[in-house]
Structure 1
């Protein structure tokens, strides 16, 4: 069957463009007048819906124009009201379109397609929920690591959680504006000082002359490790346990 007019489907309902029908029926009355004369016996939102389509003007630009999406029933009645051979031809075409649409096999096909689409949507939603749950579990597991270690830790141990050595990790914390170096020692920026993020412990070592020496060393508390985690995560730096590229 040769297509006389384009039929679209929205919310499982067949629709045609009022402008396409007006043109196909070769109505001489201008479109807006034809609408006002013929649409008054139909109900908007039930028989037709106001829509905006586009047309190409002389300079090639697309201009928005008023159009209407008509149900097949309304379109058939407008064909009758035209009282022309074109009207009979288009009405006959629309009847055949409607007949095929209501064929039991077509109804089953549409129902199956709807179920397939719903199944696909459910799979996507389940996949998204699974990803969200995995991310949530990852976050919880790393925070559990932090909360499960009440003792303050040296930066070397925290750096290992991120796959860094101590030197590079200290530089990373510096770039993240968490700490800076003064007289060879890493010190928190003022905004973080005195809030319980770090503590100091003596570090004992043997110098090059064999003498036992001691100097203060910075250790990170649970609260400090949580600060590092939050700030680095905002900068897309994650601990190994939360990285998807690490098995």
Structure 2
């Protein structure tokens, strides 16, 4: 089939046509902006068409940006007939042929295979990215006992500041008031995720708060929640 107007596929696998190319091929005498205003009223933006910016070459050889629209082929064939030019019927028939070919069993199977292959490649790439994190996760889950924030961050192979910020922002811990406020867990997360090392009074008679420690269950939970929240699984 000869290509009358270029038909492209978007990321969702939908066929689309440039409104400017359609306007030109139809031989519409009305200027593009007025043609759009007259013919797009019955269609829904974001469903039947989307706004895009493209480029064109001007007389001095430079390029400038111009507004365009990507139309579904279904909208394009309707607009072709609404434009009522000598080529309207020919272009409508062309889009019908394009849709028929697009929906043939052979092309549908080819698209399905390409989609599955792309998913597999994406899964493999993500798995390679996640492997160091997964290995680190397996390491610290096997480690017993509650440990401090610094040791936890080192075990997770992340920055201590990132770990603390995540815990604070998600309201698992808080900072006590005062110039040297200490990090303390909210009581509902003790002793499942946190335990407290006993406080007391130092040699100068100054009381100090219990020190926060993160349990193995806490380390497992926070690592999954903050640092590997989207471990990829291949969908069948």
The residue matched to 2:87 in structure 1 has which SS? helix
Q: Which has the higher strand share?
A: 1
| Equivalence for 1:6 | 6
- Distance in 2, matches of 1:48 and 1:28, equals 22
TM (normalized to structure 2)?
A: 0.55
Cα deviation, 1:96-147, whole Å, max 9, x if unaligned, reads 110011112211111111010000000000111124556x59x99xxxxxxx
Q: Which runs of 5+ in 2 are unaligned?
A: 141-236
Aligned pair count? 138
Cα deviation, 1:58-82, whole Å, max 9, x if unaligned, reads 2222211010000011100011112
| Equivalence for 2:42 | 41
Indicate conservation of the 8 Å contact 2:54/2:65, yes or no: yes
Cα deviation, 1:26-61, whole Å, max 9, x if unaligned, reads 101000000001111111111111111111112222
| Equivalence for 1:68 | 69
TM (normalized to structure 1)?
A: 0.53
| Equivalence for 2:83 | 82
Q: Which runs of 5+ in 1 are unaligned?
A: 141-247
RMSD (CA atoms) = 1.8
Q: 5 Å matches for 1:101-116?
A: 101-116=102-117
- Distance in 1, matches of 2:17 and 2:58, equals 23
| Equivalence for 1:125 | 126
Q: Indicate the structure (1 or 2) with the bigger Cα radius of gyration.
A: 1
- Distance in 1, matches of 2:132 and 2:60, equals 50
- Distance in 1, matches of 2:103 and 2:86, equals 26
- Distance in 2, matches of 1:17 and 1:96, equals 18
| Equivalence for 1:22 | 23
- Distance in 1, matches of 2:27 and 2:46, equals 26
- Distance in 1, matches of 2:78 and 2:129, equals 47
| Equivalence for 1:227 | none
- Distance in 2, matches of 1:81 and 1:2, equals 23
- Distance in 2, matches of 1:101 and 1:36, equals 30
